[in-house]
Amino acid sequence: MNAPPMLKAAGVPDYLTRRVIDALLREDVRECVSRGAIVHGFAHPLLDQLSPTFREGSWLRIDHFDEQLWLAVEPGQFMQDWRFRAFPALSCRRTNAKPLHDLAEILTCFRSGLDPQTEALHVAFGKECVTASEHRTWCEAERTRWFAMPDEEPSYWPAWARSLARHDRLAALHDHPFYPTARAKLGFEAEHLRAYAPEFQPVFALRWLAVPRTSYEGAALPQCLRPSFTDVGLDEALTADHVLMPVHPALWDAGLGDFLAQADLAKAVVRAPRSYLSVMPTLSVRTVVPLSCPGLHLKLPLTIRTLGATNLRTIKPSTIIDGDIVQTILRDVTADLPAISGRLLLTDEATGATAFGQSFLGYILRRYPELNEETVTPVAALAAPAPDGRLTIEALADRFYEDDVEALFRDYSDLLLRLHLSLWLKYGVALEANQQNSLLVFSDSGLRLLLKDNDAARIHSSVLAARRPDVAGRVDAIRDRRIIVDADLPLAQMFITITLQLNIAVIVEALHHAGRADRSDLYRHVRARIVAILEELAMDGINIVAARRHLLEAERLPLKYLLRAASLESKAQTGAADVNKFYGLTAPNFLRQI
């Protein structure tokens, strides 16, 4: 198996190298930590060649690879016990010892002795690292340009839409906390990034496909988004038996023809020769916002892969139905939560369509609630650097919390914990409301939470049926049956890995590293609020025993093994029905370490 280009030569910086090796350790790839041994530097085979710093430090010795591997490590403080310390690493075969000075050599050791199929996945990940480095370089240059000469969002947009576009862009330029090569948009080259990626916030026009009405399942687009056949250069006579469907130009130019040919549909559809409807990308890349009506977002299939080589960004027909069902369940059950209902907003995702039942032909229309002068940001932007050098959360605290960033954090974390603990324990619902799908709405009257894109929830159907039988019947219409579970554990795993780790703990760590707060103080607050909310739920007759055990008593928390499930291992190896929901129980519980 040929190795990918040398990552050092390709410009992979120490920053990305550390992220990748830390992820390998965090997810215990090939049992490198669980079967490895932590030894002192004085046991190193090349002791006389080590600097004093290395002699005094710790090393992870991995004996079960084809070649013994030594990695310099130090204790981790968040999500893992050990982190990578510095190069060189060391590879030993019999009496020969070879210093390793770059990421490519480390990855070569990690794939040694694998079966051909798994080795191919590891080699592909090496290439993904190169892509991530290239994409990061281009995007960092764009960040520098943008911060020096800020582009303005359309002046005729309402303030909330302008702020969301700006914060989406800040979030896009900020790395995912856990997936090390998230900067890689696999399938995009440099010209695609500049033409379609949110980091560059370009404006482009959608392409259109005429599909037979008999193949079309779903609602029509609103008139303000829908072109006439003449607008896109087609004969108006086609309106009798065809419907126009929007297509992202990146899919139109690369991939659509192959998809149509593979599905034997090339002659069943008509490609419109002209573009129509100017749009800008949002944080999710495949979701775009029309310049003419920013309160309506269109989610469109793409052939890129993000957060792993298996995460193809098409749209399964089931998600069009399921996302709307979950949103309506949320709307009804949260109406019973007076402390939450006035602070929670939901998008309307009832409109969507697919053609021929294909995942590459479809769309979801997302309607935002009526907003005006509010400031809106995805949670993903909170830890992102703002143009003035502060974290975005600091800038928001300055504007809305009299520069008290801890007060903002307390308000924010209290809102998230109360909502998601109530949904989990009272109604048997856990949301994959990650940092992209959770939006904060700031105004002079207070902070609210806006949730979107909830097509991958987990619902404990018997709990929901016991609490709200009038709502539980909707579960039968959910098409992706992975959403329905019959145990509490999947809900606990989702709450911990999304709400607690990704949306709350990541912000704690960012504030700590920025010197704006002490992590122990913030974690003490989080723990105290969890205890208080659980006690309130217990007084309402809710069983909180399992939640206390999962959150407060467990020495280890579940951890999403994103890298393993989405890139390095097949579903046959992980046994995961969903690559985004494969967990290990290896994260230290930061709520017990305070």
pLDDT at 153: 86
Mean pLDDT, all residues of the chain: 93
41: pLDDT confidence band, cut at 50, 70 and 90?
A: confident
Q: Where are the domains of the chain?
A: 14-116, 151-318, 383-434+456-588
Asked whether residue 10 carries a pLDDT value surpassing 50, the answer given is: no
503/489 Cα distance (integer angstroms): 20
Asked whether residue 5 carries a pLDDT value surpassing 50, the answer given is: no
548: pLDDT confidence band, cut at 50, 70 and 90?
A: very high
Give Cα 35 distance to the centre of its chain.
30
Start-end of H helices in 149-241: 159-172, 190-196
C-alpha distances (whole Å) from 577 to each of 280, 383, 429 are 33, 31, 19
572: pLDDT confidence band, cut at 50, 70 and 90?
A: confident
Q: What is the pLDDT of residues 282-340, one digit of tens each?
A: 999 999 999 999 999 999 999 898 888 777 888 988 988 999 999 999 999 999 998 89
Asked whether residue 77 carries a pLDDT value surpassing 90, the answer given is: no
pLDDT at 9: 35
Are 32 and 155 spatial neighbours (Cβ–Cβ below 8 Å)? no
Asked whether residue 141 carries a pLDDT value surpassing 80, the answer given is: yes
pLDDT at 13: 59
51/364 Cα distance (integer angstroms): 58
pLDDT at 172: 97
Q: Residue 436: which residues within 8 A CB-CB, separation 6 or more?
A: 171, 283, 284, 378, 379, 380, 453
Beta bridge partners, 271, equal: 209
Choice among 41-55, 129-143, 438-452 with the minimum mean pLDDT: 41-55
- Share above pLDDT 70 across residues of the chain, in percent, rounded to a whole number: 97
183/143 Cα distance (integer angstroms): 13
3-state secondary structure of 450: strand
Which of the given ranges, 12-26, 94-108, 277-291, has the highest pLDDT on average? 277-291
pLDDT at 4: 41
Amino acid letter, residue 23? A
Residue ranges with strand state E in 292-401: 296-299, 344-346, 348-355, 362-367, 375-378
Residue 184 per-residue DSSP state = -
282/380 Cα distance (integer angstroms): 12
55: pLDDT confidence band, cut at 50, 70 and 90?
A: confident
User: For the whole model, what pTM was predicted?
Assistant: 0.95
pLDDT at 562: 92
Q: What is the pLDDT of residues 160-204, one digit of tens each?
A: 999 999 999 999 999 999 999 999 999 999 999 999 999 999 999
8: pLDDT confidence band, cut at 50, 70 and 90?
A: very low
93 or 460: which leads in pLDDT: 460
